[in-house]
Chains A and B, each alone.
Chain A
Amino acid sequence: NAGVMQNPRHLVRRRGQEARLRCSPMKGHSHVYWYRQLPEEGLKFMVYLQKENIIDESGMPKERFSAEFPKEGPSILRIQQVVRGDSAAYFCASSPRDRAYNEQFFGPGTRLTVL
């Protein structure tokens, strides 16, 4: 049973470009969470999605950031017009429907570097 998969593992973008980060949850998991880790800090919650629904995006910056989890395919975190301050590790986690409130299984993260 493959774990949570994220790609790419490393992403380099120039200021003003778009970054797309993908997350495939574990098989059978229908809840996805995105977290951001700035250098030397712990993870900060960004957004919680279920299939085709955004449940809570209170941790997402109001502009330039968006997330989706379509019926088919991976969850996507999209950052438009990236700035240097967006450089961070972005982690996706998933949990199964019947244990949504316990374990969250994390992917390996995508490290975004904005030049």
Chain B
Amino acid sequence: AQKITQTQPGMFVQEKEAVTLDCTYDTSDPSYGLFWYKQPSSGEMIFLIYQGSYDQQNATEGRYSLNFQKARKSANLVISASQLGDSAMYFCAMRDDSNDYKLSFGAGTTVTVRA
């Protein structure tokens, strides 16, 4: 069974600094995808970034980058130059090819950006 672990329930970061959100996963399938979503207080789920298990390079999308360490089964999200609008809950999710449409989500990490 798939498992996503986010060990940081909450984090504080100073505006303009970088923050790293941890995510480890467990799967026996060699082909899988990893996702990060942002959920602000308004409740919607916003897709941030995707990393495929066979991708050679770490994914980047603007201020978001994914530190993908396949051997350690970790897919940490790095948010650079934090902004007040980054305050939200962040979820790591995984899809593997044995369940190629189901996303399995971690419990989430709350990020609070301080001015």
B101→A106 contact, CB < 8 A: no
Nearest Cβ distance between residue B26 and chain A, in whole angstroms? 15
Q: Is A115 an interface residue (CB 8 A)?
A: no
- Please report the C-alpha to C-alpha distance between residue A106 and residue B47 in the assembled complex, in whole angstroms: 8
A42→B47 contact, CB < 8 A: no
Comparing B62-70, B75-83, B102-110, the segment that makes contact with chain A is B102-110
How many residue pairs link A and B with beta carbons under 8 A? The number is: 64
- Please report the C-alpha to C-alpha distance between residue A103 and residue B33 in the assembled complex, in whole angstroms: 10
Nearest Cβ distance between residue B23 and chain A, in whole angstroms? 11
| Docked complex: B57-115 residues within 8 A CB-CB of A | 91, 93, 95, 97, 100-108
Q: How large is the interface on A (under 10, 10 to 19, 20 to 34, 35 or more residues)?
A: 20 to 34
Q: Is A33 an interface residue (CB 8 A)?
A: yes
Q: Is A55 an interface residue (CB 8 A)?
A: yes
Contact residues of A: prevailing secondary structure: strand
Q: Is A89 an interface residue (CB 8 A)?
A: yes
- Please report the C-alpha to C-alpha distance between residue A111 and residue B42 in the assembled complex, in whole angstroms: 11
Q: How large is the interface on B (under 10, 10 to 19, 20 to 34, 35 or more residues)?
A: 20 to 34
Comparing A11-19, A43-51, A65-73, A75-83, the segment that makes contact with chain B is A43-51
Contact residues of B: prevailing secondary structure: strand
- Please report the C-alpha to C-alpha distance between residue A102 and residue B31 in the assembled complex, in whole angstroms: 12
Interface string of A52-95 (1 = CB under 8 A from B): 00011001000000000000000000000000000001010101
A42→B33 contact, CB < 8 A: no
Interface string of A88-115 (1 = CB under 8 A from B): 0101010100001111111111010000
Q: If the complex has contacts A31-B101, A103-B50, are A42 and B108 also in contact, measured as CB distance less than 8 A? A: yes
Q: Which residues of A contact B (CB under 8 A)?
A: 31, 33, 35, 40-45, 48, 55-56, 59, 89, 91, 93, 95, 100-109, 111
